[in-house]
Amino acid sequence: MTETSRELVTRGKIDVEGRLVDASNVTLFCTIELDGVTGNVVYKPVSGERPLWDFPDGTLAGREVATAMVADASGLGAIPPTVLRDGPFGPGMVQLWIETTEEELVDVRPPEGLPDDWRVVLHAHDRDGEPAVLAHADRQGMRELALLDIVVNNTDRKGGHVLAGADGRIYGVDHGICLHTDPKLRTVLWGWIGERLTEAEVGKLRGLREQLDGELGDALGEHLTGFEIRALAERTELLLAAGVFPEPGDDWRAIPWPLF
């Protein structure tokens, strides 16, 4: 997060332009302005969060911010500048709007139409009974988002939550149902199962684990319980000990639905 972006999303004046109707919770598209600098943000007020049976009420905005803090501290994956602040409808998550390209990074396609550099996640059939695969591009930015999903226990990494930024980076968004203490990983990014972590990836995970015992752990305490922070540390330790991308568990559905 650049200082300019941080200041803009933290202190800028927010004006609501409209609502993103496909979102489960109230998600507002807004303009933002600070000292002549303008942009767009997504604003998710806590008051608009839909209650969930397995996550405490009123915590989803904080979980989005906590996940962004983990990504920023570790260098695992890119998340747009994200803060918790007051807005037109009360406290909520405010995240910089990212301009994207039309490039598809996750898709359901016929097997014969799959690019050589894509990873297959699931074999299935389409509505006409023809073979189809759920697959995603093989990019380092996506690989690191997959690692982030593992350590933050992302319960809802849909294909539409992976964005090809116009700046060439790959961004992850929508992290409101992350960081639960119970295993709940559901993601479309399963293309690297069993592959060894690179030296750089191991270094980022080790750095994250160290920071959780220091300032990062303290800062996360504003948004998470002590048990949730401890579970984050334990998931990081388990991933480092295994040294490979894990397989899905058998105790829960490992791919979100809908897929996008």
The reported pLDDT for the residue numbered 214 is 96
- Phi, psi for residue 147 in degrees, rounded to 5: -65, -40
- pTM (predicted TM-score): 0.95
The reported pLDDT for the residue numbered 24 is 84
The reported pLDDT for the residue numbered 241 is 98
Write the DSSP string, the chain: --HHHHHHHHHSEEEEEEE-TTSSS--EEEEEEETTEEEEEEEEEGGGPPP-SSS-TT-HHHHHHHHHHHHHHH--SB---EEEEEETTEEEEEEE---B-S--SEEEE-GGG--TTEEEEEEEE-TTS-EEEEEEE--HHHHHHHHHHHHHT-S-B-GGGEEEBTTS-EEE---TT---SS----BS--TTTTPBPPHHHHHHHHHHHHHHTTHHHHHHTTTS-HHHHHHHHHHHHHHHHH-BPPPPPSSS--S-SS--
- Give the end-to-end CA distance of the chain in Å, rounded to a whole number: 27
Reading the chain (260 residues) residue by residue, the pLDDT tens digits are 477 898 999 999 999 999 998 888 999 999 999 999 999 999 999 999 999 999 999 999 999 999 999 999 999 999 999 999 999 999 999 999 999 999 999 999 999 989 999 999 999 888 888 999 999 999 999 999 999 999 999 999 999 999 999 999 999 999 999 999 999 999 999 999 999 999 999 999 999 999 999 999 999 999 999 999 999 999 999 999 999 999 998 888 999 999 99
- Name residue 203's amino acid: G
The reported pLDDT for the residue numbered 108 is 94
Write the DSSP string, 127-175: TTS-EEEEEEE--HHHHHHHHHHHHHT-S-B-GGGEEEBTTS-EEE---
- Measure the CA–CA gap between 6 and 12, rounded to whole angstroms: 10
The reported pLDDT for the residue numbered 4 is 84
The reported pLDDT for the residue numbered 129 is 87
Write down all domains in the chain, each with its CATH number in brackets.
3-101+137-245 (1.10.510), 106-136 (no CATH)
